[in-house]
Amino acid sequence: MPAASFLPPTIWGNHRLEWGQRTHVMGIINVTPDSFSGDGIIHEALTTEDVVVQAVALGRQFVMEGATMIDVGGESTRPRTQADSLAIEQELARVLPVIAALYKALPEDVMLSVDTYHAEVARQALDAGACIINDIWGLQRDSMMAGLAAERGVPVILMANMRGFQKREIVSDVMRFLASSIERALAAGVAWERIIIDPGIGFGTTPEENLLLLRRLSELRALNRPILLGTSRKSTIGLVLGGLSPSERIEGTAATVALGIAQGADIVRVHDVHEMVRVVKMSDAIVRGTYTLPE
């Protein structure tokens, strides 16, 4: 049984996340033109209104298919130089209309997270309806982010990011990064129960290191926080399966999701919600014993 079965629930506002009873599915909405996975919903011919309509349709589809969390991001996580990073104003212009529209259109119990490492973007996204901060730099890029999470009393997802990090042994490196991020969160006043961790598959890690992290994912349980796993359509899957394009990586993603749940993943962040909800249900039936058979 995954270690999170003994963790207390994460409670904030009108939301409650129980750990250990089921795996939560987070659907991805990339409000970008250059997503690595090919699912970005921004194109030159589309107006902001068109993008919002597409995002709401996708969000509704994800919820119908079984997602209880939606993650909205406005900047591609492809490797890039600091000079290429998206301006905060442009990131805000992308994500705020989408988050505001999703907040109005989706059921109240659906949780919206904002995928950003900029505190100002997170602040305005929370004002627009987001209720979770998903920081791909684990509070180690913007010094204001930890204080914001504490001030607003929302959960924060701390991802390990090895880009520019001096690596020695990848599992201990990730553990060290996450431990440092947890300390930053706690020092700023973030409640222990509102911290979620993510090993950061593909962020400054080689394919071999990604496979090793997945093989030893259970070691992250030592940090005693719920684990989010984001492997969906990632390049390591394509390489292992012979150079498949992102849209052809569903089966490979399914394998990582199932094996990740067996090792303690509590949330899976995915592009293909319909298929992965089925994988999650089957995995939970085996790993957690949560199933109901027809009479």
Q: Catalytic one among 215, 269, 281, 288?
A: 269
Structure token digits, residue 49: 């209104």
Residue burial 245-273, b: 16+ Cβ < 10 Å; e: rest: ebeebbebbbebbbbbbebbbbbbbbbbb
**Beta-sheet pairing, 10-12 with 69-73:** unpaired
Instruction: Assess whether 269 carries a catalytic annotation.
Output: yes
Displacement of CA 40 from its chain's centroid (Å): 16
Determine the residue type at 206. T
Q: Which one of the listed residues 152, 234, 281, 288 is annotated catalytic? A: 234
For 267, the 3-state DSSP assignment is strand
Dihedral of the alpha carbons of 43, 47, 48, 53, in degrees to the nearest 10: -80
Judge whether 114 and 99 are in contact, CB under 8 Å: yes
Longest dimension (CA), the chain: 60
Euclidean distance between the first and the last CA atom of the chain, given in angstroms as a whole number: 26
Helix or strand or coil: residue 184? Answer: helix
Residue 112's DSSP bridge partners are 70
Picking from 31, 67, 6, 12, the residue whose alpha carbon sits closest to that of residue 276 is 67
User: If you search the block for the tokens 């270690």, which residue do you land on?
Assistant: 3
176 is catalytic: no
| Cα atoms found within 13 Å of the Cα of residue 201, Cβ hemisphere only | 29
Contact 148, 133 (CB under 8 A): yes
Calculate the dihedral angle through the C-alpha atoms of 181, 183, 188, 191, rounding to the nearest 10 degrees. Answer: 100
Catalytic residue list: 234, 269
